[in-house]
Chains A and B, each alone.
Chain A
Amino acid sequence: MIYNVQIKVMPLKDLLDPQGKAVLGGLKNLGINTVSDVRVGKHITLEINAASEAEAKTIAEEASKKLLANPVMEFFEIEMVN
Chain B
Amino acid sequence: MKFGVVVFPGSNCDRDMQDALQHDLNKEVIMLWHKNKSLEGLSTNDCIVLPGGFSYGDYLRCGAIARFSPMMQSVIEFANKGGKVLGVCNGFQILCESGLLPGVLLQNAHQQFVCKNIFIKNEVTGALKIPVAHGDGRYFANDNLLNELQKNNQIIFNYCDENGNINTASNPNGAARNIAGIRNKTGNVFGMMPHPERATSKTLNNIDGIKVFEYLGLN
- Residues of chain A whose beta carbon lies under 8 Å from any beta carbon of chain B: 15-16, 18-19, 21-22, 42, 67-68, 70, 72-73
Contact = CB atoms under 8 A, between A and B. Distances in A.
A23 to B, nearest CB: 10
B106 A15 contact: yes
Interface in B80-126: 97, 103-104, 106-111
Interface stretch (B60-68, B196-204, B208-216): B60-68
Contacts, number: 33
Interface of B: 60-61, 64-65, 68, 97, 103-104, 106-111, 140-141, 174
Contact of A72 (B65, B68, B141): B141
Given A15-B106, A68-B60, A73 B140 contact: yes
A13 to B, nearest CB: 13
Contact of A15 (B103, B110, B140): B140
Contact of A70 (B64, B68, B109, B111): B64
B110 A72 contact: no
Contacts of A42: 60
B111 A73 contact: no
Nearest to A17: B107
Contact of B108 (A18, A67, A68): A18
18 contacts: A15-B106, A15-B140, A16-B106, A16-B109, A16-B174, A19-B107, A21-B111, A22-B111, A42-B60, A67-B60, A67-B64, A67-B65, A68-B60, A70-B97, A70-B104, A72-B103, A72-B141, A73-B61
